[in-house]
Structure 1
Amino acid sequence: MTVPPPIIAPSILAADFSRLAEEVRAVEDAADWLHVDVMDNHFVPNLTIGLPVVQSLRAATKLPFDVHLMIMDPKRWAPGYADAGAYNVTFHAEACDDPVALARDLRAAGARAGLAIDRDTPIEPYLDLLPSFDTLLIMTIKAGFGGQRFIPQMLDKVRAVRQHVAAGHLDLRIEVDGGIAADTIEQAAAAGVDAFVAGTAVYGADDPAEAVHRLRGLAERAAPDA
């Protein structure tokens, strides 16, 4: 089982929003993507940032934006994030009636398309849809709040997807979000994850850039083909 080199995506949900541009620049030379959590107080109980913030932040950094939409009606809003310059736009399977059609719209708008699976959602009904996507985001917590504890049982989904990806020779990033830190990233990498969202583990560190480098090193050493 060959796994691509790891992607580390700091989540700005854990950053200091009073100095957000500075927080982003602190990881610019270390991170691969910048993870942007968009919550609408409907699909999940929390409320965070929206399209205007993403549009303004786009001018502040060269990092690719990995936008995670935890919102109702992603068909209405997702293409706007692609138009705003997002590299990858991920929406939840639970909030979309036709994920493949929305993935097609996102790709047409110039972004990569990601599908997110929440904690309590089985992966099996979505395996046949994966050729239409560039990223599969498996939540390792319940979507909607930062700072939760990693749930190792969610890695069973990762293993199932990694086998499916290998069997079908799919070009798909497997991403996890929730509780990723120095004490959890190795088991996630060993299961076949190759993109890691890290919030508190990065922005709660004295040196966020060094924290990113450390997480990448741990993931590289634990990857199945390492």
Structure 2
Amino acid sequence: MTEIGISILSSDLLNLEKEIKSIEKSKADYIHIDIMDGHFVPNLTFGPDIVAQVKRMTKIPLDVHLMIDNPARYIETFASVGADILTVHYEACNQLDEVLSLIRRHGCKPGLAIKPTTSVESIKKYLDKVSLVLQMTVEPGFGGQAFIEATLENLQTLDLHRTHHHLSYMIEVDGGINKVTGKKCVNAGADVLAVGSYYINALNREKIIQELKN
């Protein structure tokens, strides 16, 4: 069954605890937290304090997505406040092998994210070192964007590579995910759907989760 991560980027941050309890009630598998620095992407969002607060509120695993330059500086910090998965961008790392090893040493599962225009070929040599590959299906930086259909080819390539090389990384997608685009992603090989505004704005959140999982 497909797993679902709920992005809190579009949630009501003045009622964060209420939002987390709603996510728990909906039976989501992960809480997806987007960390943006205003440099790697043109937006500023959360820091480690928010991750720590969310960790205190729930036992749902935290999928922390670092959309920041030079993420090695912050691996220890985000690991220490409760990240379960720490995902860094291929495009933001000069010494990616070392960064992925650092994530493991601090007790987190290492994830590797790529932008829509980045080829899978460029990351193949790292795929035996990661627990998760995150394919961005919009340009990273802001919620509510339209899904980029061309990213489906990358998903198929990631799925084929995983099968051929007997690897076990999960494939996650993030950006513009709804019932229609989510089905396309799952059919192309995705295991985890990170969902933001489609879930947050739904009148029946539990129904949305069940539809996406099935």
Same fold, judged at TM 0.5 (above): yes
Deviation per CA, 1:2-60: give whole Å up to 9, x if none.
xxx32100100021111111111101141000000010111100110101111122101
Matched, 1:28 2:28: no
Percent identical pairs in the alignment equals: 37
Matched, 1:7 2:3: yes
Matched, 1:53 2:50: yes
* Distance in 2, Cα, partners of 1:79 & 1:156: 34
Question: Match for 1:87: what amino acid?
Answer: D
CA positional deviation for 1:79: 2.5
Partner secondary structure for residue 107 of structure 2? coil
Matched, 1:195 2:192: yes
* Distance in 2, Cα, partners of 1:87 & 1:74: 16
* Distance in 1, Cα, partners of 2:95 & 2:3: 28
Which residue among 158, 178, 185 is the counterpart of 1:161?
Answer: 158
Residues 2 and 212 in structure 2, CA contact (< 8 A), matched pair in contact too? no
Matched, 1:147 2:144: yes
Please give the TM-score of this superposition, normalised by the length of structure 2. 0.97
Question: Match for 2:96: what amino acid?
Answer: P
Choose 75-84 or 18-27, whichever is displaced more: 75-84
Matches within 5 A, 1:47-86: 47-86=44-83
* Distance in 1, Cα, partners of 2:150 & 2:192: 18
Residues 146 and 199 in structure 1, CA contact (< 8 A), matched pair in contact too? yes
Residues 104 and 110 in structure 2, CA contact (< 8 A), matched pair in contact too? yes
Deviation per CA, 1:169-218: give whole Å up to 9, x if none.
1010000000010121111100000011000111010122321122111x
Deviation per CA, 1:106-144: give whole Å up to 9, x if none.
111111000000122122011121000000000000010
Matched, 1:170 2:157: no
Other-structure match for 1:208: 205
Partner secondary structure for residue 27 of structure 1? helix
Residues 37 and 49 in structure 1, CA contact (< 8 A), matched pair in contact too? yes
Question: Match for 2:66: what amino acid?
Answer: L
Other-structure match for 1:221: none
* Distance in 2, Cα, partners of 1:95 & 1:209: 35
* Distance in 2, Cα, partners of 1:216 & 1:117: 24
CA positional deviation for 1:87: 1.1
- Structure 2 residues without counterparts, runs of 5 or longer: none
Question: Match for 2:14: what amino acid?
Answer: S
Q: CA RMSD in A?
A: 1.0
Please give the TM-score of this superposition, normalised by the length of structure 1. 0.92
Which residue among 102, 127, 132 is the counterpart of 1:135?
Answer: 132
Partner secondary structure for residue 186 of structure 1? helix
Residues 90 and 112 in structure 2, CA contact (< 8 A), matched pair in contact too? yes
* Distance in 2, Cα, partners of 1:176 & 1:45: 20
